[in-house]
Amino acid sequence: MPNPSAAMLVIGDEILSGRTRDANMHFLAGELTRVGIDLKEVRVVSDDRAAIVAALNALRNAFDTVFTSGGIGPTHDDITADCIAEAFRVGIDVRDDARAILQAHYDRAGSELNAARLRMARIPDGADLIDNPVSAAPGFSIGNVHVMAGVPSVFQAMVASVLPTLTGGAPMLSQTLRVDRGEGDVAGPLGQVAADFPDLSIGSYPFQKDGAYGTHIVVRGTDGALVDAAMVRLAAELTG
């Protein structure tokens, strides 16, 4: 059976403008690989309601699980929760359990739970809260979509809360072979090995450092014996 599939929707003008470098995709890809869920697609959209709704509907209908990051804070451009509600065609309002979490957090901090902060307690109808041990404001899950903050430390904590609830598959195994030859020299044999091992993912990545150049060949798959066999074959043909 193939592994479950996943997609990620990264939301925010700051990502597309280059002001902020997204670290969440890299983290999520590693965590999903570890539990045997294949991250198949990542989209980045601006803080535009129609674009968010369209992208979310496309991804949630195409993949088993969708993760979103960004747009659930207290400011006017944090519109993700409203877009999720629109996509699922449900209502959204301040929810008592989310409000209680925020009230306790700001009471401990000696700060006011003002109208802006209370926006983070607005949860689509029928959603389950995602715990946020870093800054309290919860994410939420609805259907096959998990909605998380964009701040990396908070996103990582929310992923840790969600992953145990998901059904994974076979963890992806990976091995790397360094070849001191360019891609043009290894392309022929590499293509033949890839054809002979169709259940594996085999990629080539050129490098150049300190005057040396060559190719890193990465073999990935869920069957350790097949990965080993492909690596032995590649080593014999490309480094012998």
> What pLDDT is attached to residue 211?
79
Total number of domains constituting the chain: 2
Same domain? For 137 and 25 the reply is yes
> What pLDDT is attached to residue 234?
93
Same domain? For 121 and 193 the reply is no
CATH, residue 83: 3.40.980.10
> What pLDDT is attached to residue 2?
86
Same domain? For 136 and 20 the reply is yes
- Phi then psi for residue 61, to 5 deg, are -85, -15
Q: Give yes or no for a contact between 67 and 146, defined as CB atoms under 8 angstroms apart.
A: yes
Q: Give yes or no for a contact between 79 and 47, defined as CB atoms under 8 angstroms apart.
A: yes
Same domain? For 130 and 195 the reply is no
Same domain? For 59 and 120 the reply is yes
> What pLDDT is attached to residue 240?
65
Q: Give yes or no for a contact between 174 and 220, defined as CB atoms under 8 angstroms apart.
A: yes
> What pLDDT is attached to residue 239?
84
Same domain? For 23 and 60 the reply is yes
Of 165, 196, 224, the domain-final residue: 165
Same domain? For 161 and 193 the reply is no
Question: Strand pairing of 128-130 and 139-142?
Answer: antiparallel
Same domain? For 200 and 159 the reply is no
CATH, residue 207: 3.30.70.600
CA–CA dist 189, 197 (Å, integer): 12
Same domain? For 159 and 179 the reply is no
Phi-psi sector, 147: left (phi>0), alpha (psi -120 to 50), beta: beta
Same domain? For 160 and 181 the reply is no
Residue 102, domain extent: 5-165
Which residue stretches of the chain have pLDDT < 50?
A: none
Same domain? For 110 and 196 the reply is no
Distances in Å between the alpha carbon of 158 and those of 17, 134, 169? 25, 9, 21
Same domain? For 219 and 161 the reply is no
> What pLDDT is attached to residue 115?
95
